[in-house]
């Protein structure tokens, strides 16, 4: 689905609402008008397609307001209306059993807001797209911080089969990886005489991230029509836990029109300025959606129509071992404390108890008790071990639910 993420939406707001002469400060926008933001796409894939509606607000750093209770439908060349189901929070979905895009057909998006304002997209032709031939990775390095720092890692590339006179392409990807927290919570502390093993330690979880990068390419006349070694993503192996156990990436390929290519290319140029957007005078990023009764009204976003192809690859830790790359290390420490770690000066300073140590770290401070430590000779409880929550509970940054497609490669 169309990935006009918050980052892109915020930039679009700035593009449309700032004046042409800009000083580097946070402006109070005059003559402000709330703009409709449309985020939607249909393909020929067997899936439920999504359209998201929101409105810009005057604070350019805030999240756009959701547009609920709109009427949204898609028409094809036969004029039939395929209504989208209102899922709430500005999200509208098609019925996957009742509607599916067809290559060669033309589709138009129609929107009626709760206030009765009507919008529609230009008619969009669903073009074919070639199959993805291969997705693979190689050892590589990346240059960051204006060329002052180099990062080692792996770069993921794509090869595509020859298309049917396709000249413009766009890609998006979704990453999923399994990770393990270094100091999992394996015991519950009741008191110094009652310590219970946790039945299901939250040690292994999965993280997921959808791309917000703008990945596009134009194939010029006379060039080889087959896409080869298209860079998709670079992963610095010492900056992330992605490649420590098992990693999976799903890459999707679309064939887009010249106008849509220009839309993404313009947006990409603004994005590349990052926080330095004031260094460049903004230009118009043209949408293909208009107000039916007021064509001068500006609308943000783009309704995409394209056939889609996808391919998934998995990368196991053993695939990385032989590449001589730096590894990621969690910034986690174990704190082990027992009564012997606190000085005793009777009668004014009595011995500290294990219960008091537990209360200090787990009740009065934000730590997890993870396990006990016993004397190897006497087997007496000597210390309690603590760690930060994010180092002890994987669900704080991921999910313990295994994805449906996941197969462990160990």
CA distance 171 to 20: 32
**In the chain, where are the structural domains located?**
6-129+255-307, 335-387
- The set of residues, in sequence order, having a beta carbon less than 8 Å from that of 212 and lying 6+ positions away, is 3, 5, 7, 8
CA distance 305 to 315: 31
- Which of helix, strand or coil describes residue 148? coil
CA distance 349 to 364: 20
- The strand pairing partners of 399, in sequence order, are 206
The pLDDT assigned to 165 comes to: 76
| pTM listed for this prediction | 0.84
Tell me the per-residue pLDDT of 130-173, one tens digit each, with 9 for 90 and over: 999 999 999 999 988 887 889 999 999 999 998 877 889 999 99
CA distance 46 to 322: 39
What are the average pLDDT values for consecutive 10-residue runs of the chain, which has 410 residues? 45 41 44 82 94 85 85 94 96 93 96 96 95 96 87 96 86 98 97 95 97 91 78 96 97 94 89 49 73 93 95 96 93 94 78 94 95 94 97 97 93
- Which of helix, strand or coil describes residue 313? strand
Q: Are 182 and 330 in contact (CB under 8 A)?
A: yes
What six digits make up the tokens of 122?
A: 């230009």
Q: Are 231 and 155 in contact (CB under 8 A)?
A: yes
């Amino acid at each position: 689905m169309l990935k006009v993420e918050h980052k892109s939406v915020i930039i679009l707001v700035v593009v449309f609402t700032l004046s042409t002469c800009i000083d580097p400060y946070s402006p109070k926008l005059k003559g402000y008008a709330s703009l409709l933001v449309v985020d939607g796409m249909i393909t020929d894939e067997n899936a439920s397609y999504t359209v998201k509606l929101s409105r810009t607000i005057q604070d350019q750093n805030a999240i756009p307001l959701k547009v609920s209770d709109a009427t949204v439908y898609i028409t094809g060349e036969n004029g039939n209306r395929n209504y989208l189901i209102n899922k709430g929070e500005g999200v509208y979905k098609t019925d996957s059993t009742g509607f599916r895009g067809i290559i060669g057909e033309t589709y138009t998006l129609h929107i009626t807001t709760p206030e009765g304002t009507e919008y529609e997209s230009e008619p969009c032709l669903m073009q074919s797209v070639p199959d993805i031939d291969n997705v693979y990775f190689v050892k590589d390095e990346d240059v960051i911080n204006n060329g002052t720092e180099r990062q080692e890692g792996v770069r993921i590339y794509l090869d595509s089969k020859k298309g049917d006179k396709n000249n413009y392409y766009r890609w998006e990807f979704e990453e999923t990886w399994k990770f393990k927290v270094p100091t999992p919570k394996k015991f519950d502390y009741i008191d110094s005489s009652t310590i219970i093993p946790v039945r299901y330690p939250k040690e292994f979880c999965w993280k997921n991230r959808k791309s917000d990068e703008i990945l596009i390419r134009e194939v010029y006349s006379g060039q080889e029509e087959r896409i080869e070694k298209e860079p998709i993503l670079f992963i610095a192996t010492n900056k992330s836990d992605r490649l420590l156990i098992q990693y999976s990436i799903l890459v999707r390929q679309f064939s887009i029109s010249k106008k849509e290519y220009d839309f993404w290319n313009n947006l990409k140029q603004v994005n590349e300025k990052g926080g330095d957007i004031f260094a460049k005078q903004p230009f118009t990023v043209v949408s293909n959606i208009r107000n039916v009764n007021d064509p001068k009204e500006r609308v943000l976003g783009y309704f995409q129509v394209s056939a889609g192809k996808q391919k998934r690859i998995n990368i196991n830790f053993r695939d990385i071992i032989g590449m001589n790359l730096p590894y990621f290390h969690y910034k986690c420490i174990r704190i082990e404390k027992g009564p012997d770690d606190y000085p005793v000066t009777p009668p004014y300073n009595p011995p500290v108890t294990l219960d008091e140590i537990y209360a200090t770290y787990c009740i009065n401070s934000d730590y997890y008790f993870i396990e006990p430590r016993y004397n190897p000779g006497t087997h007496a409880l000597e210390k309690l071990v603590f760690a930060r929550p994010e180092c002890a509970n994987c669900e704080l940054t991921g999910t313990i639910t295994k994805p449906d497609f996941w197969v462990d490669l160990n």
